[in-house]
Amino acid sequence: MSRVTVFYVNGCVNRHNCHIWGTEQLNEIHEYVRGSPKVNVWCGLLYDHVIGPFFFSEKTITGFVYLDLLAQYMFPQIETFEQETVNRVIFMQDGAPPHFSCFVTDVLNERFPDAWIGRGGPIPRPPRSPDLSLLDFFLWGYIKNIVCAEKIRNIQHLQERITSAIETVTRDMIQKTWQEIEFRLNVFRATNGAHIEMY
Structural domain for 95, as ranges: 2-10+37-198
Residue 170: inside a domain: yes
Q: Report the CATH number that the domain containing residue 157 is assigned in CATH.
A: 3.30.420.10
Mean pLDDT of the chain: 81
Residue 52: inside a domain: yes
pLDDT digits (tens, 9 = 90+) for 56-95: 988 889 999 999 999 999 999 988 888 877 788 888 888 7
Q: Does residue 159 have a pLDDT over 60?
A: yes
Task: Output 46 or 55, whichever has higher pLDDT.
Answer: 55
- Count the Cβ atoms, other than its own, within 10 Å of residue 119: 15
